[in-house]
């Protein structure tokens, strides 16, 4: 169904106009790396003939802050033929307008925002690099991937007069209602506390913290022998890098005759050479895990 819809869109909408416009923008940026410099047709022409005009040694005084050489270059620019002047104007042409201001995105396919186009280019490069390193070749080509992303972007546009405020309120209110229901269960994990409802949405949308309180993700895998073997190879256990644990027990007496036992645990890990071929892990990662995820009694 998706493939049929994509072919229907491509048959009615011509994406070449927007694609040519993006190519023109990229071509302009490749030729004008430094956009802070002031450039113009007359400025380029005056820089080219400045040495020749100074060699004439024109006599006279400055008028209105301009030297005789400047007036001479103005006269030469006015007498320049149209073809030569068009050559300088082409070199000093400004950057083309964004595609959204030229081609309507709801009519012209592939007319997307510049931010989305840049993200799509970055993802395409990353996707192509991963495809080259992968042993299994994907059946989706790079052009088909870009076309699919452009179709998703066009289908996400809002119609004129659509109540986008109500849609946004529904998008936040419905998940928060579902998240309020305490349907999570962790058997034997009394210390686990899942942030739910509105506080969870505030944490995700407003706080945007790098360290989420309850980071958790469920990744389903294919129930095949090959997938289970891959999961087992990726799984890392502490016992695979731990050589031994030394336990020292002492008896202490505190104030008011409080008696308690003190246990000192010393973890001794294997050298890096023992597991570097089997596990993609460094000693720094193990120490970071022990410091941040100390086992509880």
What is the SS3 assignment for 35-57? CCCCCCHHHHHHHHHHHHHHCCC
User: Length of the chain, please?
Assistant: 297
> Model-level pTM?
0.47
Can you tell me the mean pLDDT for 76-89? 83
Q: How far apart are CA 269 and CA 282, in angstroms?
A: 11
In 66-88, which positions are buried (b, 16+ CB within 10 angstroms) versus exposed (e)? eebbbbbbeeebeebeeeeeeeb
Per residue in 5-44, pLDDT (tens digit) is 666 666 666 778 888 888 888 888 888 777 667 778 888 8
3-state SS assignment for residue 33:
coil
Whole-number pLDDT of residue 197? 65
Question: 111 or 54, which is more confident?
Answer: 111
pLDDT of residue 192: 52
The residue that leads in pLDDT, 287 or 237, is 287
């Amino acid at each position: 169904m998706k493939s049929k819809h994509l072919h229907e869109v491509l048959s009615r909408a011509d994406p070449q106009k927007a694609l040519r416009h993006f190519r023109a923008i990229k071509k302009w940026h490749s030729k004008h790396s430094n956009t802070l410099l002031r450039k113009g047709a007359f400025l380029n022409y005056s820089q080219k003939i400045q040495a020749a005009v100074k060699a004439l040694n024109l006599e006279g005084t400055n008028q209105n802050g301009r030297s005789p050489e400047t007036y001479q270059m103005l006269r030469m620019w006015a007498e320049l033929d149209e073809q030569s002047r068009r050559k300088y104007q082409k070199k000093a042409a400004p950057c083309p307008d964004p595609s959204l201001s030229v081609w309507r995105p709801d009519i012209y396919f592939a007319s997307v925002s510049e931010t989305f186009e840049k993200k799509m280019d970055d993802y395409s490069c990353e996707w192509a690099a991963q495809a080259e390193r992968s042993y299994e070749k994907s059946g989706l080509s790079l052009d088909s991937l870009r076309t699919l992303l452009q179709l998703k972007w066009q289908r996400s546009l809002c119609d004129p007069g659509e109540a986008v405020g109500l849609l946004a309120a529904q998008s936040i209110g419905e998940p928060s209602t579902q998240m309020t229901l305490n349907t999570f269960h962790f058997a034997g994990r009394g210390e686990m506390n899942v942030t739910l409802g509105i506080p969870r949405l505030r944490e995700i949308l407003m706080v945007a913290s790098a360290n989420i309180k309850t980071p958790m993700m469920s990744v389903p895998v294919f129930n095949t022998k090959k997938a289970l073997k891959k999961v087992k190879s990726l799984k890392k256990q502490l016992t695979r890098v731990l050589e031994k644990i030394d336990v020292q027990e002492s008896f202490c007496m505190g104030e008011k005759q409080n008696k308690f036992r003190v246990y000192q645990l010393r973890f001794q890990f294997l050298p890096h050479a023992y597991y570097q071929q089997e596990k993609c892990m460094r000693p720094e990662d193990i120490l970071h895990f022990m410091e941040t995820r100390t086992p509880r009694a």
